[in-house]
Amino acid sequence: MRTENKYKVVQSTRTSRISSILLVVLIIVLFAAPYWAGRGDMRLLSEIFLYLSLAILWNLLAGYSGLVSVGQQAFVGFGGYLLFSLAMFANVPPLLAVPIAGLAGGIVAIPIAFLVFRLRGAYFAIGTWVVAEVFRLVFAQISSLGGGSGTSLPATIVKSIASTKSMREATTYWVILSIVVLILLSVYFFLRSKNGIALRAIKDNELAAESFGINIWRTKFVIYIATAALTSTTGALIYLQKLRISPEAAFSVNDWTAIVIFMVVIGGIGSIEGPIIGVILYFILREMLADLGTIYLLILGCVAIVIMLKAPRGVWGYFRDRYNIELFPIKRSVVFKNNNGVK
């Protein structure tokens, strides 16, 4: 008797389904943090979520699109300054100013993209850094925003967020957590879509992707604008939490790009899990070694070198290759099954 083999295309695994359930439970627990965590813990969690947002976005930009930018601090600072400007001079509620800052960041990124997309490789990276420096110099000249010394968000505007300090902190925390969940899920489902397949094809081989009719320039352009908008949104939230902004802090390449690159590289660039692992490892190292002063930075550098030598694909890449597991699968797999149900 002839046995016919059947097959189906799947994008999920048993491991990914279990991890999805655990992720939902974790999100619920984290949303309840204002009821079980102290203020210090909530501020630390908020900082972790903000860095996770930046890491996921930079990974999408560099790890999947091949656009290695060292100037994303331009959009972090722009989002923060626009939040302050809208709240202080246009009487826009701070929480409403956050998405407006994100939208404005995406619009501002359009002419920047036309400029920097003329560059390739290291020249593209340098070009994005130059753009960020221009932003820093421009905002340092705006006296109404404190010039080079910066400014603080007025108390009346801060109090408009909520009636009490604890409620303001909880509200800000919930907004930050909502944004990082939105960014994570948006990137995940985008990479699983047809456009995500096109993006991965461009990453693997641009010439081959173009031969299949994929518009490489347009695809990268859309990714650049989207990441700029969401990075500006994240920047607005960063300074909504800090309540004070200055050009040196807002456009710091060390704080908003170098550390983010470190997180993505040690976690595993080109994977969704990589930035998550990288952020966790960075904050564990920071909490353990921060009291060591400058030695702390040297240790971080040594950790990065060791990981790049021993695990070029990052910590998650090492475990994925060794144990063949994926928590956020984006590739399609073919599963064969015969009439007896045997796979």
Highest mean pLDDT among 136-140, 207-211, 330-334: 136-140
Residue 240 lies in a domain: yes
pLDDT at 89 (0 to 100) = 95
Residue 105 lies in a domain: yes
Residue 336 lies in a domain: no
Query: Per-residue pLDDT tens for 85-115?
Result: 999 999 999 999 999 999 999 999 999 999 9
pLDDT at 343 (0 to 100) = 52
**Token code pair at residue 130:** 């130059």
What's the rounded mean pLDDT across residues 18-43? 93
Q: What is the mean pLDDT of the chain?
A: 90
pLDDT at 181 (0 to 100) = 96
Highest mean pLDDT among 131-135, 288-292, 311-315: 131-135
Residue 228 lies in a domain: yes
Residue 310 lies in a domain: no
Scan for tokens 């009439």, then name that residue: 339
Q: What's the pLDDT band for 16 if we cut at 50, 70, 90?
A: confident
Per the structure, the count of domains in the chain is 1
Specify whether the CB–CB gap between 94 and 83 falls below 8 A.
yes
Domain span at 27: 23-256
Closest by Cα among 185, 280, 197, 183 to 229: 183
pLDDT at 4 (0 to 100) = 53
Query: Per-residue pLDDT tens for 198-213?
Result: 888 888 888 888 888 8
Q: What's the pLDDT band for 5 if we cut at 50, 70, 90?
A: low
Residue 141 lies in a domain: yes
Residue 330 lies in a domain: no
**Token code pair at residue 265:** 């590289």
What's the rounded mean pLDDT across residues 307-331? 85
Rounded-to-integer distance, Cα 333 and Cα 14, Å = 13
Rounded-to-integer distance, Cα 265 and Cα 268, Å = 5
Query: Per-residue pLDDT tens for 164-183?
Result: 889 999 999 999 999 999 99
Rounded-to-integer distance, Cα 27 and Cα 23, Å = 6
Is the pLDDT at 42 greater than 90? The verdict is yes
What's the rounded mean pLDDT across residues 214-226? 94
pLDDT at 342 (0 to 100) = 47
Q: For residue 73, which amino acid is it?
A: Q
Percent of the chain with pLDDT over 90: 66
pLDDT at 1 (0 to 100) = 45
Largest CA distance in the chain: 85
Which residues pair with residue 333 across a beta bridge?
10
Is the pLDDT at 80 greater than 50? The verdict is yes
Residue 263 lies in a domain: no
